[in-house]
Amino acid sequence: MRLHDDTLRTFASDNYAGIAPEVLAAIAAANDGHQTAYGEDRYTEALQEVLRAEFGRETVGFPVFNGTGANVVGLTAMMPRWGAVICTSTAHIHTDEAGAPERVSGLKLLPVPTVDGKLTPDLIAREAWGWGDEHRAQPLVVSITQSTELGTVYTSDEVRAIADYAHELGMAVHMDGARIWNAAAALGVPLAAFTADAGVDVLSLGGTKNGLLGAEAVVALRPERAPGLIYLRKLSMQLASKMRFQSAQLLTLFDDGLGVRSAAHANAMAARLRSSLEGTPGLTFSQATDANAVFAVLANAAADRIRERYRFYDWDRAAGQVRWMCAFDTTEADVDAFAAAIREELAR
| Per-residue model confidence (pLDDT) at position 13 | 96
> What is the average pLDDT across 164-176?
98
* pLDDT over 70 percentage in the chain: 100
Q: What DSSP string runs through 282-343?
A: T-EE-S---SSEEEEE--HHHHHHHHTTS--EEEEGGGTEEEEE--TT--HHHHHHHHHHHH
Q: Is the pLDDT of residue 12 over 90?
A: yes
pLDDT tens-place string over residues 239-297: 999 999 999 999 999 999 999 999 999 999 999 999 999 999 999 999 999 999 999 99
**228 CB neighbour count, 10 Å cutoff:** 12
Global confidence as pTM: 0.97
Asked whether the beta carbons of 309 and 334 are under 8 A apart, the reply is no
Asked whether residue 8 carries a pLDDT value surpassing 90, the answer given is no
What's the pLDDT band for 5 if we cut at 50, 70, 90?
confident
* Identity of the residue numbered 335: V
Q: What is the mean pLDDT of residues 130-153?
A: 98
pLDDT tens digits, residue range 296-328? 999 999 999 999 999 999 999 999 999 999 999
Backbone torsion region of residue 132, taken as left when φ is above 0, otherwise alpha when ψ lies between -120 and 50, otherwise beta: left
pLDDT at residue 221, rounded to an integer: 98
SS3 280: coil
User: Residue 22 — pLDDT band, cuts 50, 70, 90?
Assistant: very high
Give the per-residue pLDDT at 102. Answer: 93
Q: What is the mean pLDDT of the chain?
A: 97
CA dist., res. 179 & res. 193, Å (int): 15
Burial class (CB in 10 A: 0-12, 13-18, 19+), 133: exposed
The predicted pLDDT at position 342 comes to: 98
With beta carbons less than 8 A apart as the criterion, state whether 299 and 307 touch. no
For residue 6, the model assigns a pLDDT of 85
pLDDT in tens, 180-234: 999 999 999 999 999 999 999 999 999 999 999 999 999 999 999 999 999 999 9
Q: Give the per-residue pLDDT at 2.
A: 86
Mean pLDDT of 112-139: 98
For the chain, list the domains and their CATH numbers: 21-256 (3.40.640.10), 258-346 (3.90.1150.10)
